[in-house]
């Protein structure tokens, strides 16, 4: 059975993520121990709420450096929701806050209006996943087996990741004419703005693929 160490820094849907991992056929272990993170086969970084409390708490608990060190091992690393946003250089939510810098880019607000029209913020609900322009598909990624435009996942967010390199965008979701960055991929790191643990069969497939990495 594949074991997933979930980084427990006190913020995130820890128990719903744990249950989803177990439903996918894995063993979930919550950990706030740097040594356990270093020895893990794969880790999951969760996060909910505002960016600054998440990144500050991750650092205050002494877990930011172990997470960075794990990322450098090349072993499978999954980020979810604000756990995805923390991987970027910085966020502009309530001021500028520095992130982990694992994926070059930043986090910015979803515009309430633009040339495409107006939209309610936050973006809450189910949205189909789409293949970004320039990407051939999702073979050999955590979205292997998903159907573009059909497979839907659940979102709750007001801020959106903006990778410096568009090739890092693994999936998008259209939100009233705005292309949400739904997932990113860089080397051994994959992260989702949506919540796989709340996304039914599509989310379960993502977690099953992660367990097979």
- The residue from 161, 185, 195, 208 that is catalytic is 195
CA distance 54 to 96: 14
Active site residue 123: no
Do 54 and 47 contact (CB within 8 A), yes or no? yes
Q: What percent of the chain has pLDDT over 90?
A: 98
Mean pLDDT of all residues in 40-45: 98
- pLDDT for 54 equals 98
pLDDT in tens, 160-208: 999 999 999 999 999 999 999 999 999 999 999 999 999 999 999 999 9
Q: At 95, is the secondary structure helix, strand, or coil?
A: coil
Q: What's phi and psi for 13, nearest 5 deg?
A: -80, 65
- The residue from 81, 161, 181, 194 that is catalytic is 81
Q: At 94, is the secondary structure helix, strand, or coil?
A: coil
CA distance 132 to 174: 11
Judged against a pLDDT cut of 90, whether residue 12 lies above it is answered with no
Mean pLDDT of all residues in 44-66: 97
Can you spell out the DSSP letters for 100-162?
Answer: --SEEEEEEEPPSEETTEE--SSEEEEEE-BPPTT----TTSTTTT--TTT-EEEEEESEEEE
Q: Up-side HSE of residue 43: CA atoms within 13 Å toward CB?
A: 30
- pLDDT for 189 equals 98
User: Cα–chain-centroid distance for residue 203?
Assistant: 12
- pLDDT for 67 equals 98
Active site residue 197: yes
CA distance 85 to 45: 10
Q: How many Å from the N-terminal Cα to the C-terminal Cα in the chain?
A: 12
Tally of helices (H runs) and strands (E runs) in the chain: 6, 15
- The residue from 93, 185, 197, 208 that is catalytic is 197
Active site residue 5: no
Q: Which residues pair with 159 in a beta bridge?
A: 109
CA distance 194 to 203: 9
Residue whose structure tokens are 């990624």: 141
- pLDDT for 121 equals 97
Q: Is 147 left (phi over 0), alpha (psi -120 to 50) or beta?
A: beta
């Amino acid at each position: 059975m594949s074991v997933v160490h979930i980084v427990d820094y006190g913020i995130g849907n820890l128990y719903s993520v744990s249950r989803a991992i177990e439903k996918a056929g894995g063993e979930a272990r919550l950990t706030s121990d740097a040594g356990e993170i270093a020895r893990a086969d794969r880790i999951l970084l969760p996060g909910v709420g505002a960016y600054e409390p998440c990144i500050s708490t991750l650092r205050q608990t002494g877990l930011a450096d172990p997470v960075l060190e794990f990322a450098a091992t090349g072993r499978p690393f999954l980020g979810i929701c604000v756990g995805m946003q923390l991987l970027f250089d910085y966020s502009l939510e309530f001021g500028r806050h520095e992130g982990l810098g694992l994926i070059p880019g930043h986090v910015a607000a979803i515009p309430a209006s633009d040339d495409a029209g107006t939209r309610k913020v936050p973006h809450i609900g189910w949205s189909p996943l789409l293949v970004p322009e320039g990407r051939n598909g999702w073979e050999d990624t955590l979205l292997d087996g998903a159907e573009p435009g059909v497979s839907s996942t659940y979102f709750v967010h007001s801020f959106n990741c903006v990778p410096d390199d568009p090739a890092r965008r693994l999936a998008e979701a259209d939100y009233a004419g705005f292309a949400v960055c739904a997932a990113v991929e860089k080397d051994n790191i994959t992260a989702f703005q949506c919540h796989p643990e709340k996304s039914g069969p599509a989310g379960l497939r993502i977690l099953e693929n992660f367990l097979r990495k």
